[in-house]
Every structure is written in structure tokens, then in C-alpha cells.
Structure 1
Amino acid sequence: MPAPAAAARVGHSGRVNPLLPPLLSCARDIERHVAAAGWDQPARLFALVPTAQLRAAQPHLAQLSEEDDDALSAIEQEDLPPADSVETLLAQLAWPPEVDGIALAVERIVLPPQAQADLPRTDAEALAAVAQHPDRQDVRLLVAVRRDGSATCLLRQRAHDSDDQVAVGQDIAPGLVEALSATLQD
């Protein structure tokens, strides 16, 4: 199935930070954009395209920053196909060559490792136990990948909901990195 139709360009802010790789700079812009809408959101998906390519293809976007030809712009995808899970959704997607990468924002509940050992075995019972657990943490993951294999992950905790408290790493969510990368394979 082809990628969903583009809805709105949200990524590249024009504030290019020459010290950050383009993927991380774009991912931070997306994460802040998603965070501005608050918590308890559905998964949100973004196509990443080179800003210079977008500027050339869409002359009405000439105001996009020209200071960094490596910059990426994010285009949020709406009208996603129905799916029971993020994994099912991603398995339905394929991207045209113009899309250099993708990013996914998804909220999750996490527990400390010692709390996970005592969870019930059935999915329904485990979900109920996690939702009621006193040590649960609500987090939002923003995972961004490019066709060249580069990836970055950002993690925001509801308990520390501040732009300066967002964790950044390449291996925070390896399963999501792998699943997103698979959608970019030809």
C-alpha cells in the first residue's frame, strides 16, 4: 500500500542548528510539535523529505530556510489506514523514493524491570495491571529513521514534561527503529 496522503508540513523550523545532524534537528522539531498538543494522543506519522527538494518541487514554499541544504522537513500523514496496532499499521506502508525518512510519535506506558516480572501472563490482564501499577510511567517516543540507516529516538516522560528533559539516543526503541526502517525498503 502506498504512503498516506500528506496533510501538513510541520517539521523544519528554519532554525537550523549546524551542530546537530539533520535527522536529529528535524526529530526535535517534530517532538516539540507533537508535545504542544499535549498527552493522550494517537500515534502520529511523518514523512521526512529533504528541504531543498521540497523547496524545488513546491515553489510556494520558497520561504523555507536555504541556509542548510542537508535540512529535512517533516510532513504529517493523515488518513492512515485502520490498524489494530502500530506494528500492523507500519506493515501496510511503503514510501515513494522522494521520502528520505519517516518519524513516528507514539505514547507508551513503561514499568521498572522489577515490576514487569510480576505481570499476569494474558495480554488483557497484563494491560490492566500496567495501567493500574503505582510505578508506571507515561512516555512519548519519537523515532525517526532515514533510508541510509541512520536513526534517532527521543523520549519524553509525562512526569518530566519539558523540552529540556527529553532524552535522546539511537537505541532507546530498537524494535520501532527496525519496524520503521522496514517501511523504507524498496
Structure 2
Amino acid sequence: MPSTPAAPEPSPAAQSDAPSSTTQSPATRALADAVREIEHHVATAGWDAPVRVFALVRTQAALAAEPSLAAQLEPATLAAAQAEPWHLTSIEQEGLPEAPDLETLLAGLSWPESVDGVAVTAERVILPPAAEAQMPSDPDEALPWLLAHPDRQDVRLAVGVLREGATWCAVRTRANDTDDQVGQGPDVVPGLVSALRATLT
């Protein structure tokens, strides 16, 4: 369900095209690829979706630990994983604990050392700052007011972090719901990046 803009919001620095791969570290390139793949996968299910959480593991290490995984991968994915040590596989987490909001959910998560990173997708409703300043302070009044506001924007956030420090974000708006209109960057949603990083410590 969409939530109020009290949660981390996209910064205006989002770019619709990813930076040149020559400017990124191998870990950041791999994470950017994984986050884009996760966002695209989630987008195929449509809007008004629940929060989804994914563990990220290096594919080579996953194959070494469980060789049978190779049979589940597309040949092109397997070849990419064999050629790129930082190639990542995302594993969606089922049975997430009940939580009143995304921040509480993330605060209750932790990961074993075998997990190299984590990604999350979530939907948000955001407003221009001037409109947000007029939002009622009573939560029971704020949500109906927000959902009815003509300047509201529905956005889907896909954010990933790695233990080694790399971060990547992708943001899609419902008003521009096409793959070539997805904003991307390493720090587009800094609050959510920080919350995810805390789950890996």
C-alpha cells in the first residue's frame, strides 16, 4: 500500500539513464544491474504492491555452495556469472514479519555473512514540498488528504546496498510507467539507503 511522504523520498537528482559503466566499480555495476533487474521484475506485477525484500549474493559463491543452482539459471546468466566475479543473484525473501511500516520492518532484519547485500522495493506517495507543508498533522486525516491531492505522485522505489559499500537506486513513477523513464543513481533515496545498510551491520 502507498504510504505518506514521511518515509524516505527520492531526491531530485535522479537520472533516467544510468551513468557510464566506465565510471563505476565492478561492485557498483553489478549492483546497478541487479537493482534494475529487480525493479523490472516487480514492475511486471503492476502497482499497489506490497514491500518486497531481496537478499543479494555473489552468483559464483552461490554456485560453489549449491552447484544445482546452475540448472535454474539461463545460459546467458550463467556465462555472465562465470565471467564477472561480482555478478549478483537476487533471492526474494518470503514470509516477512508483520510491521506497521517499512522502517520498522527493516530495523528488524539482519543477514548472515554469506549475504553480500540487500535490496527492497516499496511504493510511496510524494508531494511537492509546498503541498506537503499543508498536509494535516493528524495521521487519520493525512492519508485521505494525501491520496486525494491533485499533485500527488505515486512512485516505486528499488534500492540496493552491498556490504562493501556500493549503493544503487531506481525510481519509477506511475505517471511515466515505462522502462526508459526509470530514474537511477547511487544516492537517489538516501534515507532508505541508510536503513538498508543498517541491516547488514
| TM-score tier (shorter) | 0.7 to 0.9
Match of 1:30 among 35, 38, 52: 38
Structure 1 residue aligned with 2:48: 40
Structure 2 residue aligned with 1:100: 116
Which deviates more from structure 2 when the two are superposed, residues 120-129 or residues 22-31? 120-129
Could you tell me which amino acid in structure 1 is paired with residue 43 of structure 2?
A: A
Whole-angstrom CA distance in 1 between matches of 2:87 and 2:50: 27
Structure 2 residue aligned with 1:90: 106
Q: Report the CA distance between 1:171 and its aligned residue.
A: 2.1
Report the number of matched residues: 169
Whole-angstrom CA distance in 1 between matches of 2:104 and 2:200: 15
Structure 1 residue aligned with 2:176: 160
Structure 2 residue aligned with 1:61: 69
Question: Given the alignment of the two structures, is residue 128 of structure 1 paired with residue 141 of structure 2, yes or no?
Answer: no
Q: Report the CA distance between 1:98 and its aligned residue.
A: 0.6
Q: Report the CA distance between 1:59 and its aligned residue.
A: 0.9
Q: What's the secondary structure of 1:41's corresponding residue?
A: coil
Q: Report the CA distance between 1:67 and its aligned residue.
A: 2.4
Q: Report the CA distance between 1:61 and its aligned residue.
A: 1.8
Whole-angstrom CA distance in 2 between matches of 1:133 and 1:61: 47
Task: Give percent identity, aligned residues only.
Answer: 52
Question: Given the alignment of the two structures, is residue 116 of structure 1 paired with residue 124 of structure 2, yes or no?
Answer: no
Q: What's the secondary structure of 1:37's corresponding residue?
A: coil
Structure 2 residue aligned with 1:176: 192
Ranked by relative contact order (alpha carbons within 8 Å, sequence separation 6 or more), the top structure is 2
Q: Report the CA distance between 1:77 and its aligned residue.
A: 0.3
Structure 2 residue aligned with 1:4: none
What's the CA shift string for 1:5-42, capped at 9, x where partnerless? xxxxxxxxxxxxx7671100111111110001111100
Gaps of 5+ in 1: 1-17
Between Structure 1 and Structure 2, the one with more strand by share is: 1
Structure 1 residue aligned with 2:87: 71
What's the CA shift string for 1:30-60, capped at 9, x where partnerless? 1110001111100000000001011111111
Whole-angstrom CA distance in 2 between matches of 1:98 and 1:107: 28
Whole-angstrom CA distance in 2 between matches of 1:67 and 1:29: 18
**TM-score of the superposition, structure 2-length normalised?**
0.80
Whole-angstrom CA distance in 1 between matches of 2:36 and 2:195: 20
Q: Report the CA distance between 1:103 and its aligned residue.
A: 0.3
Whole-angstrom CA distance in 1 between matches of 2:90 and 2:172: 19
Could you tell me which amino acid in structure 1 is paired with residue 170 of structure 2?
A: L
Q: What's the secondary structure of 2:83's corresponding residue?
A: coil
Q: What's the secondary structure of 1:171's corresponding residue?
A: coil
Structure 2 residue aligned with 1:5: none
Whole-angstrom CA distance in 2 between matches of 1:69 and 1:170: 21
Structure 1 residue aligned with 2:158: 142
Aligned CA-pair RMSD: 1.5
Q: Report the CA distance between 1:129 and its aligned residue.
A: 1.0
Whole-angstrom CA distance in 2 between matches of 1:121 and 1:143: 28
Gaps of 5+ in 2: 1-20
